[in-house]
Amino acid sequence: MTESEHQVAAGAPAPSDEPEAGRPRRRLRPGDFVLGMLARGSAAGVVLMLVALVSVLVYSALPSLRAFGPSFLTSSDWRPNELERPVRGPDGKVVIEDGEVVTETIPPSFGALPVIYGTTVSSVLALAFAVPLSLGTALFIVRVAPRLRIAGPVSFLVEFLASIPSIAYGIWGLFVLAPFLQNHFEPTIATAARHIPGLGWMLSETVNVGGHAVDRPVPLTGRDMLCGGMILAIMILPIITAVSRDVLRNVPRGQIEGTLALGATWWQSCRGMLRYSRSGLFGAVMLGLARAAGETMAVTMVIGNNNQIAPSPFAPAQTMSSLLANEFAEASSDLHRAALLEVALVLLVMSLGFNMLARWLVVGGGSRTAAAQ
């Protein structure tokens, strides 16, 4: 999809909107001038803000960018304190010179892999829970509810979910969802998984104990990756539902009637509808993903805040935004602060990527279908 196609698609039905050439130029009134300048100023201000945000982030993250380079994205060490430990020789024994143990100081080290993993997995989990629910709701609103005259109330309730503050979801997650998962849901799943071969990874974690990797069962705490994913799912439901509802409404009536006229069952016609608007729906999902990746407070409260990469959904984890919420206010050194800002930069780039992809799919997809008519 190119820009010119886009313009043609948008401009074709209403050519009368084009300004007439050679029309005498009206005298500019003071009010027009002020409003025009205000509008230009506001637009420039918004762009400037984004540019300032990115440049300040990059500038502040420079010490960390310089210190760790690309290994920042692949290292899983996140240790803000210096370590002083005895030097060990090739034989694994402590080196002793002049009767004293030789020690080495290991500087702080920062790597973002665990939080990139945490953000990715919790967001994907959220999508796995939210997408079927959202698409089902959207389909219900577009195809079923109008006949029952409840499309309005259902839409309103779904959008109402979006207006609940994040912290409220967090408190609910901490005091209701997490204890429920810990006491009822997770023990049941764990008991079932024990009898199914190949699911052992869900129940054990590898812990680095004094330099040795030890496998042990995951304590079921309820505050873990699973709980984080579930809370995120509830939070991204409204946006995915609202956007997919609008995308589905834009499916031309002729298309639906056509499928029905060809003898499609209700289900087959719905499937046709979903297939027809798949790129728009995918965009809706991407918008949800972007929201999930950036969500902070609620996740911080329920995900367990442990910077580790554990395959088990019952192990505590950490996302990029929860790491920032936890550590930024009391960052222990300039390098620590810079590393946190670099995490923010990575998060910004990731969210920007999701949003651009979503925009391209929703807007581009929409005009593509319009152009096809």
The residue ranges that bind another protein (CB under 8 A) are 77-86, 174, 178-179, 182, 207-211, 214, 216-217, 219, 221-223, 300, 304-307, 316, 318, 325-327, 329-332, 336
Q: Which is nearer to another protein, 196 or 209 (CB)?
A: 209
Instruction: Please state the three-class secondary structure of the chain as a single string.
Output: CCHHHHHHHHHCCCHHHCCCCCCCCCCCCHHHHHHHHHHHHHHHHHHHHHHHHHHHHHHHHHHHHHHHHHHHHCCCCEECCCEEEECECCCCCECEECCEECEEEECCEECCHHHHHHHHHHHHHHHHHHHHHHHHHHHHHHHHHHHHCCHHHHHHHHHHHHCCCHHHHHHHHHHHHHHHHHHHHHHHHHHHHHHCCCCHHHCEEEEEECCEEEEEECCCCCCCHHHHHHHHHHHHHHHHHHHHHHHHHCCCHHHHHHHHHCCCCHHHHHHHHHHHCHHHHHHHHHHHHHHHHHCCHHHHHHCECCCCCCCCCCCCECCHHHHHHHHHHHCCCHHHHHHHHHHHHHHHHHHHHHHHHHHHHHHHHHHHHHHHC
CB of 92 to another protein, least distance (A): 14
Nearer of residues 170 and 280 to another protein, judged by Cβ: 170
Closest distance between another protein and the C-beta of residue 219, in Å? 4
| Choice between 107 and 152, CB closer to another protein | 107
CB of 349 to another protein, least distance (A): 24
Minimum gap (Å) between residue 337 Cβ and another protein: 10
Nearer to another protein, 86 or 258 (CB): 86
> Between residues 111 and 288, which has the closer beta carbon with respect to another protein?
111
Q: How far is the CB of 53 from another protein (least distance, A)?
A: 23
CB of 175 to another protein, least distance (A): 8
- Give whichever of 259 and 308 is closer to another protein, judged by the CB atom: 308
